Amino acid sequence: MTSVVCPYCFDRSPAARLPYRCQTSATGVRGAKPCAAELDTIWADFMGPSVAPALKMRGPVFTAARGLGRRLTPYGGGSRADCPACGGSTPVRVCRRCHSDFPSDYCDQDTRIIALLGPKASGKSTYVSVLLNELRGRVGRAYGASVTAMGGETQRRDRELAEDLYDRLRLPEATRPAALGFNDPLLYRLSLPLRRRLRGDGSRHTALVFFDAAGEDLASAEAMDRYTHYLAAADGIILLVDPLQMRAVRDRLPVDDGPPLPVIETPPQQIAADLAAQLRAHGRGSSRGRVTTPVAVAVTKTDSLTPLLEPHSLLLRNADHGAGALDEEDRRAVHEELRTLIDGWDSGALLRQLERDFAQLSLFGLSALGSSPPAHAPADAPKSGPRPLRVEDPLLWLLGLGGLLPRTGGAAGPGRTAGTGGRTGSEGNS
């Protein structure tokens, strides 16, 4: 039986048991009046006091009787059910736990939940916006992939992020802390061509769920507890590390007239330690204590590290996706280069902690903008617009571990600390 993970509260439920929501529209049968909106206390309590009272009035939720009033629409368009009160047909499925509405085709495909963590001012929102643009352009073309926003809220935010960054050259606003209200995840439908070993032509569709935790919410283990369900349900985690918030890096960079350095926020060691503790507490740890959830540790703003890099550094150019497959040799080489850099920044404290806490770990370096914002306008993107470097690498690695993308140069399979050569209890080759 297919199961569905709610992208809002991360409850897992059999798809066949999900309730429906009446659309309260005049599409009933036998002349019945459409249902009136009513107070949905379950959804209102989940969303919190920041939601306007009028928005809490929603269509009634009902469970369709088995084999009665429920049917599949043509061409794989999902299921519909008839409201038992008014007879109106609805395709809207809702979560049993929080009563959040799912996009129309969300329940028809596999789901990959990607957690995005990083301290305040590490550029999480900018990273997501640039990543999606690359998946729709350069990277999508190489893999034959397409990415579309799912649901009205994601479509609105997706459009605003793109207009701000690429049209107005304005950096996205900081993510709202959880104390100020619930942050909706970003939901996308990723379509990839079927692998050759599978019969027939067509595409494989996967729902990607990006949940952006505000940097302020990662300042302590207690604050991170707000994201317990999200972290426990994640298929992969992208942990952003801002090198400009590390004193060892700041001291080595030349003084210039660029934008001011960011305030030093929560140390990456603390975020990583609290993350590992949360995941272990919810059953994501192995018998040896290391967390089994794959973690891509991405050092951001690598354009600012140019004075510290060798002239032929792999971090200065994008990976070659010409073969339409992940190049594992390139990934391992990047991992080793970052490993050497990080080992020299803080006597290796961050690196040692990461390798002891996470069983599947790979290091990445990326720059969402390609250069620093103007010194006189640090909230603006560079005048040339974003020229990203390697923003796609962490996500592609996580998708490859899930079997969604082909790989060349050897596999970073389960049971190994990817890129480090360290063994866990099971066999694998990377």
Examine the pLDDT at 402 and tell me if it is beyond 70. Answer: yes
Question: Has residue 429 been placed in a domain?
Answer: no
Query: In the prediction, which pLDDT does 291 show?
Result: 92
Q: Is residue 329 part of a domain?
A: yes
Residue 430 lies in a domain: no
Question: What does the pLDDT look like over 207-251, one tens digit per residue?
Answer: 898 887 665 566 666 666 667 778 888 899 999 999 998 888 998
Q: Is the pLDDT of residue 398 over 70?
A: yes
* Predicted pLDDT of residue 67: 55
Query: Strands 186-193 and 203-212, how do they pair?
Result: antiparallel
Please tell me the total count of domains within the chain.
2
Answer yes or no: do 188 and 82 share one domain. Answer: no
Task: Judge whether 163 and 172 are in contact, CB under 8 Å.
Answer: no
**Residues 97 and 118 both lie in one domain:** no
Give a yes or no: residue 355 inside a domain.
yes
- Asked which of 3-12, 254-263, 367-376 is least confident by mean pLDDT, the reply is 254-263
Q: Are 412 and 400 in contact (CB under 8 A)?
A: yes
CATH code assigned at 152: 3.40.50.300
- Position 174 scores a pLDDT of 65
Q: Show the DSSP H helices in 167-260 as ranges.
A: 221-224, 228-233, 247-250
Q: Which of 196-200, 280-284, 410-414, 417-421 has the lowest mean pLDDT?
A: 417-421
What pLDDT score does 223 carry?
62
Least confident of 20-24, 175-179, 262-266, 289-293: 175-179
249 and 334 share one domain: yes
14-52, pLDDT tens digit by residue?
888 899 999 987 655 555 788 999 999 999 998 888 788
Residue 19: the pLDDT is: 94
Distance, in Å, from the CA atom of 75 to the CA atom of 222, rounded to the nearest integer, reads 47
Kind of pairing between the strands at 70-72 and 61-62: unpaired
The answer to whether residues 19 and 68 belong to one domain is: yes
The token pair that represents 315 in the structure block: 């971090």
- Sequential DSSP letters for 217-228: GGSSHHHHGGGH
Mean pLDDT calculated for residue range 244-262: 83
**Same structural domain, 28 and 154:** no
Q: Which residue has the higher pLDDT, 256 or 154?
A: 154
pLDDT at 296 over 80: yes
In a domain, 35, yes or no: yes
Q: For residue 77, what are the β-bridge partners? A: none
Q: Are residues 188 and 306 in the same domain?
A: yes
> Taking all residues of the chain, what is their mean pLDDT, rounded to a whole number?
83
CA end-to-end distance (rounded Å), the chain = 33
The top-scoring range by mean pLDDT among 161-175, 261-275, 291-305 is: 291-305
Rounded distance between C-alpha atoms, residue 231 and residue 211, angstroms: 10
Range 118-129 average pLDDT:
84
pLDDT given at position 341: 93
Last residue of a domain, one of 73, 90, 107: 107
CA distances from 175 to 56, 184, 213, 284, 309 (A): 24, 11, 7, 27, 31
Which of 170, 114, 136, 96 shows the shortest CA–CA distance to 374? Answer: 170
- Strand pairing partners for 14? 3
Could you tell me if 310 and 393 lie in one domain?
A: yes
Query: What is the pLDDT, as a whole number, of residue 78?
Result: 58
Whether residue 430 is predicted with pLDDT greater than 50 in this model: the reply is no
The answer as to whether 388 is a domain residue is yes
Better-scored residue on pLDDT, 426 or 343: 343
Residue 417 predicted with pLDDT over 80: no
- SS3 (DSSP) at 296: strand
Residues 37 and 178 in one domain: no
84 lies in a domain? yes
What pLDDT sits at residue 420? 44
- pLDDT score, position 30: 56
Q: Which residues pair with 206 in a beta bridge?
A: 110, 190
* Residue 93 and residue 66 share a domain: yes
Q: What percent of the chain shows pLDDT beyond 70?
A: 82
pLDDT of residue 1 exceeding 60: no
This prediction has a pTM of: 0.86
Q: Which of 89, 107, 125 is the last residue of a domain?
A: 107
Cβ atoms of 265 and 216 within 8 Å: the answer is no
Separation CA 310–CA 194 (nearest Å): 39
Annotate 310-346 with DSSP letters as a single string. Answer: -TT-GGGS----TTSSEEHHHHHHHHHHHHHHHHHHS
Mean of pLDDT values over 199-207: 73
What was the pLDDT predicted at 69?
Answer: 47
| The token pair that represents 310 in the structure block | 């060798």
Q: Let me know whether 269 and 392 are in one domain.
A: yes
What's the pLDDT band for 179 if we cut at 50, 70, 90? very low
CB–CB of 106/5 below 8 Å?
no
Least confident of 4-8, 245-249, 325-329, 373-377: 373-377
The confidence band for 75, taking pLDDT boundaries of 50, 70 and 90, is very low
- Write out pLDDT tens, residues 85-108: 888 889 999 999 999 999 877 888
Tell me which of 56, 83, 107 is where a domain ends.
Answer: 107
How far from 155 is each of 92, 190, 328, 380, CA to CA, in Å?
A: 17, 14, 33, 23
152 and 80 in one domain? no
Establish how many alpha carbons lie within 13 A of residue 171's alpha carbon, considering only the half-sphere containing its beta carbon.
20
Confidence of residue 203 (pLDDT cuts 50, 70, 90): confident
Shared-domain flag, residues 326 and 415? yes
On whether the CB atoms of residues 266 and 223 are closer than 8 A, the answer is no
Q: Which parts of 176-242 are beta strand (E)?
A: 186-193, 203-212, 236-241
Three-class DSSP category at 9: coil
378 found inside a domain: yes
Q: What is the extent of the structural domain holding 77?
A: 3-107
Whether the pLDDT of residue 347 is over 70: the answer is yes
